[in-house]
Amino acid sequence: MVYTRLMWYLEDRELFAPTMYGFRPGLSTEDILLGLKDDVLDPNSVHPRAVVGVDIRKAFDGVPHSTIMNKARALGLRGKMYNFIAGFLEGRSYQVDIGQDASAVRMNHVGVPQGSVISPTLFNISMHQLPRRLADISGLKHAVYADDVTVWTHQGSIGEHEDVLRRALNIIHDYALETGLQTAPDKTEFVVIHGGRSTFVKQEEKRHRSASETVHDATAHAVVAPSRRLSISTAAAITPP
C-alpha cells in the first residue's frame, strides 16, 4: 500500500527524469540498450562515439538516511508519507558476532534495507537530481539505472567529445560526494567507437590521475579524456559484432 502510493506520487507528478530507468514501471535496461544502439552502434556514422559507464560504490548499502530524507523533502514529500519513510529508516541497529564474542550494538544511519520492495525507490529518490544535471550538458546522452550511470556522445569533434565527457564525469563525481557516496574508478568502463571498430578500456587502478591524461584509440584515431577524479589504465582494441 505504501509503496503503491509513493510510486503514484512520484510518477504522477513526473518527479523522476525520463532517463532514470531503474525500478520504475514500464522501463528496463532494454530501453537503455535501444538508446545506445540508435546513437552509438551506427556503422555508417562518420563521427567518433564514446560511451562511459560509471558505478557508484556500495550505493545501496552506503547511502546516508539523511540524504534520502533531504531528497524526499526536495520532492515535496510531507506528512504521513515522509514520516513513514523516516520511521522505516530510523532505529535500525547492528551487532557483529565472532564465535562467542559480540561487538557493542551500534545504530545504523546508512543504507536501505535489503529485500524491501520500497528500498530501490528510496535509493532512486536519493539520485533523482543527477539526471537533471546531466541533461544540462549539451551534446550528452545519459541513462541512470540505480547505481549505474551511463553517459555517451555521438556527434561532434574529438575535442567536443572530450569536453562533454569530462563535464559529465565531474558532475557524477560531485553528485556522489553530495549524497555521501563515492564513484568506483576501478569499475569505470570506456568504449570509443569510430566506424566499425571500437576500443574498450576498463579502469583497473584506484589511484586518480589528472584531467590531462587521456585514453587514446590508435585504430579509430579517437581520444576520450576522463574526469580528473576518474582514471584509466589499460586498453585493448576489439571488433564489435
Give the separation between CA 74 and CA 122, rounded to whole angstroms: 13
Which grid coordinates are listed for 55?
558505478
Among 195, 142, 196, 139, smallest CA distance to 162 is for 139
Is there a domain that residue 95 lies in? no
Is there a domain that residue 208 lies in? yes
pLDDT at 8: 96
Residue 184 near residue 42 (C-beta atoms within 8 A): no
Give the separation between CA 140 and CA 227, rounded to whole angstroms: 15
Is there a domain that residue 216 lies in? yes
Is there a domain that residue 181 lies in? yes
Enter the pTM of the model: 0.78
Residue 135 near residue 200 (C-beta atoms within 8 A): no
Is there a domain that residue 89 lies in? no
Domain CATH for 47: 3.30.70
Q: What is the CA radius of gyration of the chain?
A: 20
Is there a domain that residue 139 lies in? yes
Residue 150 near residue 143 (C-beta atoms within 8 A): yes
Contacts of 31 by beta carbon, 8 Å cutoff, 6+ apart? 21, 143
Is there a domain that residue 86 lies in? no
pLDDT at 88: 92
pLDDT at 154: 87
**What separation, in Å, do the N-terminal and C-terminal C-alpha atoms of the chain show?**
46
Structurally, the chain folds into a number of domains equal to: 1
Give the separation between CA 10 and CA 101, rounded to whole angstroms: 45
Q: Which residues constitute the domain of residue 189?
A: 17-62+129-238
Is there a domain that residue 204 lies in? yes
Residue 135 near residue 144 (C-beta atoms within 8 A): no
pLDDT at 31: 92
pLDDT tens-place values along the chain, 241 residues long: 899 999 999 999 999 999 999 999 999 899 999 888 888 877 777 778 889 999 999 999 999 999 999 999 999 999 999 999 999 998 776 556 787 777 776 777 999 998 999 999 999 999 999 999 999 999 999 999 999 999 999 888 878 888 899 999 999 999 999 999 999 888 888 888 776 555 555 543 333 333 223 333 322 333 333 333 433 332 333 233 3
